[in-house]
């Protein structure tokens, strides 16, 4: 049997073909546009997701034995609002996870409804990227569009709907909507009432490894596949990436350095930190996880290299960085505002500490270190809850930099495991498809069989000590600038 994993990302859809042993046979990727119609807004056309996914599937399947394809599943960008009318037409462009237009609605939810109530209803508080504030925004700012809504879904679930007709979502992705009672794994009646929507407008809930349907005959014919190919629910990108890195046991940790950055801590038990600084979500293995999410991670380096330095050779640019732990330049990585742990959509990126002898290498290093320091902010919240983490996996585009991985190991003071194969949500999606089709008895069984560690970076005591001092300074910068950000 063969299995397909589809990672519906922010800039591209990545597709992966895997056999029963976990061997990756082929990969494909198709890009699509991202729209910023107003400062802080971020939108995409769901039709682009579907058309590029179909094009990617055709490329992926070319030359393979299509009769062996048994299942398709997904990892997808979370929190996006996709609204369809009663004719299944997309009402407006999808509002994405990194969209910051909902400041007013987030304030209403957190301050008027109240964080305590939100936490009781959903195990989380409101963040600008979450889906519920976007629904409220649409209700207030686009009432005619809001009145047309027949179906509300998340980005990857739009693909599942177009492929199979199943109006579905999974618990991990639904956790990020601020509409799910995470502890009890059901839609929150209180949140639906607050948002003015009904349960009929929301998809049916599944575990990430459950079969939601089979391919539409027309879709199957276009792709040259059997209409018996199973479509499996899939997971939010971070949960899918955690599956792809084998982060499924109690206390297991994964750090993702993608467009956004996350620290993902798997747990067998439901739990919430007292300030809701971390997200408390369902995991793709049927259990739970805590997650800290920063909105700009590897994208900070992409912005700095592409837009500011206009330099395409990322590897060469890092060669001049010789000394770690002594850089006098600091970088706040809040290019799109920040989520965990500050929950501040108005926060902005900045450099500080430059002098006449500051060079290009210092600035690049500051970007790497700033992302690592911001990731540590979330790790410290987990540690304050008594969670003792000694090591972590790492994935995402930023993990391809040995220098960045070394900085992460020493800033966080963790053993950092590098994987033999690191394909994040796409691999996780294929593994969920394999579980859904019965090739493995559980997500844990699939992870044990497929995921392998290639190398481990250990923290160095002297560097850990040096970064401890620098982190103590870093964590003072945001509070000092917090009141200035709204003015800029």
Active site residues: 237
- Both structure tokens of 291: 């997650």
| C-alpha dihedral, 249 to 253 to 258 to 261, nearest 10° | 130
CB atoms within 10 A of CB 87: 7
Bridge partner residues of 118 (DSSP): none
Instruction: Report the candidate in 11, 100, 77 with the shortest Cα–Cα distance to residue 335.
Output: 100
- Residue 200, helix vs strand vs coil: helix
- Asked whether 107 and 254 are in contact (CB, 8 A), the reply is no
79 is in an annotated binding site: yes
Phi and psi at residue 384, to the nearest 5°: -70, -15
Note the maximum CA span of the chain.
Answer: 66
Phi and psi at residue 347, to the nearest 5°: -60, 145
Phi-psi group of 20: left, alpha or beta (phi > 0 → left; psi -120 to 50 → alpha; rest → beta): alpha
- Both structure tokens of 192: 């639906």
258-296: burial string, b at 16+ Cβ within 10 Å, e else = bbbbbbbbbbeeebbbeebbbbbbbbbbbbbbbbbbbbb
Instruction: Report the candidate in 43, 40, 42, 34 with the shortest Cα–Cα distance to residue 11.
Output: 34
C-alpha torsion sign, points 466, 467, 471, 473: positive
* Cβ burial, residue 357 (10 Å; 0-12/13-18/19+): exposed
78 is in an annotated binding site: yes
Contacts of 461 (CB under 8 A, 6+ apart): none
Residue 253 carries which DSSP code? E
CA distance 335 to 261: 12
- Enumerate the known binding-site residues for substrate: 78-79
């Amino acid at each position: 049997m063969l299995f397909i994993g589809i990672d519906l990302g922010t800039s591209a859809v990545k597709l992966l073909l895997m056999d029963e042993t976990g061997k990756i046979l082929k990969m494909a990727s198709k890009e699509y546009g991202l729209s910023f119609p107003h400062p802080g807004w971020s939108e995409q056309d769901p039709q682009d997701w579907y058309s590029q996914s179909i094009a990617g599937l055709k490329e992926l399947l070319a030359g393979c034995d299509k009769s062996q394809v048994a299942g398709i599943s997904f990892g997808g960008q979370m929190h996006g609002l996709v609204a369809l009318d009663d004719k299944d037409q997309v009402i407006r462009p999808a509002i994405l996870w990194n969209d910051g237009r909902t400041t007013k609605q987030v304030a209403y939810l957190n301050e008027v409804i109240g964080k305590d109530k939100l936490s009781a209803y959903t195990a989380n508080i409101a963040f600008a990227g979450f889906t519920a504030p976007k629904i409220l925004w649409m209700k207030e700012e686009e009432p005619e569009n809001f009145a047309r809504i027949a179906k509300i879904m998340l980005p990857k679930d739009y693909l599942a709907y177009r492929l199979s007709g199943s109006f579905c979502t999974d618990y991990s992705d639904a956790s990020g909507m601020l509409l799910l009672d995470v502890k009890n794994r059901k839609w929150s009646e209180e949140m639906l009432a607050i948002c003015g929507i009904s349960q009929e407008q929301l998809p049916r809930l599944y575990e990430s490894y459950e079969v939601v349907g089979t391919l539409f005959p027309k879709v199957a014919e276009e792709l040259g596949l059997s209409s018996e190919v199973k479509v499996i629910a899939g997971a939010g990108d971070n949960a899918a990436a955690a599956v792809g890195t084998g982060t499924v046991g109690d206390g297991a940790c994964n750090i993702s350095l993608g467009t956004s950055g996350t620290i993902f801590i798997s747990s067998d038990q439901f739990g919430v930190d007292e300030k809701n600084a971390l997200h408390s979500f369902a995991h793709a293995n049927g259990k739970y996880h805590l997650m800290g999410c920063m909105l700009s991670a590897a994208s900070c380096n992409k912005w700095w290299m592409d837009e500011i330095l206009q330099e395409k050779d990322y590897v060469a640019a890092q060669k001049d960085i010789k000394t770690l732990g002594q850089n006098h330049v600091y970088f706040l990585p809040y290019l799109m505002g920040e989520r965990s742990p500050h929950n501040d959509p108005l926060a902005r990126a900045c450099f500080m500490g430059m002098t006449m002898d500051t060079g290009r290498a210092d600035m690049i290093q500051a970007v790497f270190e700033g992302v690592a320091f911001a990731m540590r902010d979330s790790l410290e919240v987990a540690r304050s809850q008594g969670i003792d983490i000694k090591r972590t996996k790492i994935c995402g585009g930023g993990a391809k930099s040995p220098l960045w991985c070394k900085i992460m190991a020493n800033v966080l003071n963790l053993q950092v495991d590098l994987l033999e194969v690191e394909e994040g949500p796409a691999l996780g999606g294929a593994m969920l498809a394999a579980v859904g089709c019965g090739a493995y008895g559980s997500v844990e069984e699939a992870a044990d069989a497929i995921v392998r560690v290639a190398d481990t970076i250990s923290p160095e005591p002297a560097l850990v000590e040096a970064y401890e001092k620098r982190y103590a300074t870093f964590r003072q910068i945001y509070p000092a600038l917090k009141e200035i950000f709204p003015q800029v």
